[in-house]
C-alpha cells in the first residue's frame, strides 16, 4: 500500500517495505516546449554538506564514489521523466542523507520557472516488482522557483526514512549547490569592469610624454694655463735671471727711450712699482735709483744760476729742452728696433 506524503511528511521504509535493499526514486513533471529539467542527487554528511564534488550525482556524474547512487536518466520507462537508483546497503557510513533535486536548465536566460511546470512529483518504488512505496506531489509555492528539492532520504538509526521537502530556489541549481557545498557549480567571479575613460581627458590632444631631463655632464677638472714661451726657454726675470721666472708684467721706464712692458719676478715688480722713474740699475740683483750729476731726479729743472741738489751741474732751459728732444728721438728709434728687428739682447737678458 502506497503512502501519499504532504510537504514535510515522512515515511519509514523499513516499516512500509520490510527487507527492501534497493529503491528507485522516480521524478516526473509536465512542462511546455523549450523546457529542459534535470534531476540530481547529493550525498551529504552529518553537517549537511557533500563530502566532495563526486558526491553530487547528475547527468555529468552518473555514479557516486561508493557506487551506491546511480543516475538512470529516463530509461526506467513509465511516467517518470528521470530515475535514480539507491542501494541502501552500499551507502557509505559517512553519508547521513541523500537529497533529490530538479532544476530548469538555463532558466534565467530563457525566462523560465516552475510556475509553468505542472504535475511535478517524486516517488519511491521497488525496482523488482515496481510497487510504489511512497509519493509526494510537488507544488511550487511562488511559481518563480527555477530549482527545487523534491525530497530526501535520511538515516534513522538502522532504518532509512523518506521526507517530502518541496523547497524552491530562485537561483537555480547554483543556489542548491551553494547550500550543500558543491564547488563545481559555483559561478565564476565576475571580472572587474574596466574603468570608464575620463571624457575630459579623452577630449584632450594626445601629448607624448616629456623626455627625461638630460643629465648634466660632469665638469672636467680645470687645466692649469701655462705661460707662453719666448724663444727656446721660459721667460725669466728681466733684471736678473737668477731670480727665476718672470711671473709679473710691469711698465718699465728706461733711461733712454719710451716706457715699455717687461716681465720680472714678484720682488723686482714691486721695486719697479714703488721706485720713482725714469732709470733703474740692477744692483745686487735689484734695480736701484742712481743720482746723475746735474740731472734733476725730482720735478723740473732749476732756475738759472741755482745749484742743483747734490752738487750737480746747472743747465739752462734751452739745454734741457734740446736734451729731452734728442732723448725722445733716440728712444723712438730704439723702440722701433726692438719691435721690428730680430731678437736683440738688452742688459744681457732675452726680451
pLDDT tens per residue across span 16-45: 999 999 999 999 999 988 999 999 999 999
Q: Which of 136, 142, 39, 133 is nearest to 82 (CA)?
A: 39
β-strands 281-283, 349-350 pairing? unpaired
| Residues 69-102: tens digit of each pLDDT | 999 987 555 689 999 999 999 999 999 999 999 9
pLDDT at 214 over 90: no
- Cα four-point dihedral sign 171, 174, 177, 181: negative
| Residues 237-294: tens digit of each pLDDT | 887 888 888 888 878 777 666 777 888 888 888 887 777 665 555 544 444 444 444 4
Phi-psi region of 4 (alpha: psi -120 to 50; beta: other; left: phi over 0): beta
d(CA 113, CA 106): 10
Per DSSP, 61 falls in state B
pLDDT-based confidence at 346, cuts 50/70/90? very low
Question: What are 313's three cell numbers?
Answer: 751741474
SS (H, E, C) 159-173: EEEEEEEEEEECCHH
Per DSSP, 216 falls in state P
β-strands 37-44, 132-137 pairing? unpaired
At residue 313, the pLDDT reads 47
Amino acid at each position: 500500500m502506497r503512502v501519499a506524503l504532504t510537504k514535510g511528511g515522512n515515511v519509514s521504509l523499513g516499516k512500509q517495505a520490510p527487507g527492501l535493499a534497493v529503491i528507485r526514486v522516480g521524478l516526473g513533471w509536465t512542462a511546455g516546449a523549450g523546457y529542459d529539467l534535470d534531476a540530481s542527487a547529493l550525498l551529504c554528511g552529518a553537517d549537511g554538506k557533500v563530502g566532495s564534488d563526486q558526491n553530487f550525482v547528475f547527468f555529468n556524474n552518473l555514479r557516486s564514489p561508493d557506487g551506491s547512487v546511480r543516475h538512470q536518466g529516463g530509461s526506467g520507462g513509465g511516467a517518470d521523466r528521470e530515475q535514480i537508483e539507491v542501494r541502501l546497503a552500499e551507502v557509505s557510513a559517512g553519508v547521513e542523507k541523500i537529497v533529490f533535486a530538479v532544476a530548469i536548465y538555463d532558466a534565467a536566460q530563457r525566462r523560465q520557472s516552475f510556475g509553468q511546470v505542472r504535475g511535478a512529483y517524486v516517488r519511491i518504488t521497488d525496482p523488482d516488482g515496481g510497487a510504489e512505496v511512497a509519493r509526494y506531489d510537488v507544488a511550487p509555492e511562488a511559481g518563480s522557483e527555477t530549482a527545487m528539492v523534491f525530497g530526501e532520504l535520511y538515516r534513522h538509526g538502522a532504518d532509512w526514512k523518506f521526507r517530502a521537502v518541496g523547497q524552491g530556489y530562485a537561483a537555480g541549481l547554483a543556489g542548491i549547490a551553494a547550500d550543500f557545498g558543491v564547488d563545481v557549480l559555483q559561478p565564476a567571479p565576475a571580472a572587474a569592469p574596466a574603468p570608464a575613460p575620463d571624457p575630459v581627458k579623452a577630449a584632450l590632444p594626445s601629448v607624448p610624454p616629456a623626455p627625461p631631463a638630460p643629465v648634466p655632464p660632469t665638469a672636467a677638472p680645470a687645466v692649469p694655463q701655462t705661460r707662453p714661451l719666448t724663444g727656446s726657454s721660459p721667460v725669466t726675470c728681466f733684471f736678473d735671471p737668477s731670480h727665476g721666472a718672470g711671473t709679473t708684467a710691469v711698465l718699465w721706464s728706461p733711461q733712454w727711450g719710451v716706457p715699455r712692458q717687461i716681465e720680472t719676478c714678484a720682488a723686482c715688480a714691486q721695486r719697479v712699482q714703488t721706485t720713482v722713474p725714469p732709470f733703474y740699475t740692477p744692483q745686487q740683483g735689484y734695480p736701484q735709483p742712481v743720482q746723475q750729476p746735474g740731472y734733476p731726479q725730482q720735478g723740473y729743472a732749476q732756475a738759472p744760476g741755482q745749484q742743483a741738489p747734490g752738487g750737480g751741474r746747472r743747465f739752462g732751459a734751452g739745454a734741457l729742452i734740446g736734451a729731452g728732444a734728442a732723448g725722445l728721438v733716440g728712444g723712438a728709434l730704439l723702440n722701433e728696433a726692438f719691435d721690428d728687428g730680430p731678437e736683440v739682447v738688452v742688459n744681457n737678458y732675452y726680451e
